[in-house]
Amino acid sequence: MGNNYIFSLTPTFTQGLVLGQLSILVLLALVLKYLFFIPPESETETVPFHPLSKSNPSWHQDVKEDDKDSIPEQESAHWFNILARQVVEVYRAKLQNNLTGYEGIEVARRKIEDHANNLRPRGFLAIHSVDLGMSAPKLSNARVVNDNDGDSAPTTIEFDMSYTDTISVSLSTSYLFNYPMSSFARLPVSLTISLSLFESKVTLVPPSPASAAPVLTISLPQDFTLNLKTTSLMGSRAMLRDVPKLHELIEYQVRKVLALRGTWKVILPGMGSLATVQQEIEKEQAASKEQG
């Protein structure tokens, strides 16, 4: 009689296999129902999530009056990133005389080489190739650091900036030895310098109406992050490749230039001349030296 039932107290191999498959299906159904699916009666009670922001009508209900001051005032810098990219693209185009492809890159290479040789003896440095990059600095976390609100101190706005690109330059030059006599020997040096990462805060100070030459001031702090990649070859016959000290020297010099020239003053159209702004800068430098 036991043979008329599917299962018995002593199941066969086939009965055990069927029982195992059924238990897995039941377990799978329970997991899906209680862990992933929402019961039908609770679907109408689902409340969408809204980020906590001042544009949210529940802002004043969700945030206590005592806690409002502890929430940082940060605005999106997406609009500024679009503007910055357009500005960078204009500079790239003008550096290439509005040409594209190899012709444009060759024009930019010659311009950079001419500018570099104007700072050094003619023919001292040769630029072999340049990469003007494809990206632009990205700003985020715009915030008002100092809101004058009637105070005499200028309003200060800060951004967090990050720049990663393919910008690079390949060049060759030589190190001149003047010992034991003038122009005793030259050490050929070939370099390729490329940017890996540049991160920094950017401070923006709007022009002051009380200034004789109102300018928009953009500045970088001293504690920025700069990562350069350098490949090098030194020597004519016996080659020294990727000398670490040379990499450290190049990165140090680039940091030094950025630190010294990390402040830009933009003259407002019709509000002053370059000579007037230079006089104002000289006064500020003299005042800072006296304070120092």
pLDDT tens sequence across 238-279: 678 998 999 999 999 999 998 888 888 887 766 666 677 677
For the purposes of burial, counting CB atoms within 10 Å of the CB of 198, is it exposed (0-12), middle (13-18) or buried (19 or more)? buried
* pLDDT the model gives residue 264: 85
* pLDDT the model gives residue 117: 86
Whether 135 shows a pLDDT value over 70: the answer reads yes
End-to-end CA distance of the chain: 107
Q: What is the CA radius of gyration of the chain?
A: 33
* pLDDT the model gives residue 32: 43
* pLDDT the model gives residue 98: 93
Alpha helices in the chain (DSSP H): 13-31, 59-62, 78-95, 101-119, 244-260, 274-291
CB 214 within 8 A of CB 154: no
Whether 281 shows a pLDDT value over 80: the answer reads no
Whether 165 shows a pLDDT value over 90: the answer reads yes
Cα 89 off chain centre by: 16
- Sorting pLDDT into bands at 50, 70 and 90, what band is 130? very high
Q: In the predicted model, what is the mean pLDDT of residues 217-246?
A: 88
Report the range of poorest mean pLDDT among 25-29, 92-96, 153-157, 187-191: 25-29
Gap between the Cα atoms of 80 and 141, Å rounded: 11
* pLDDT the model gives residue 200: 94
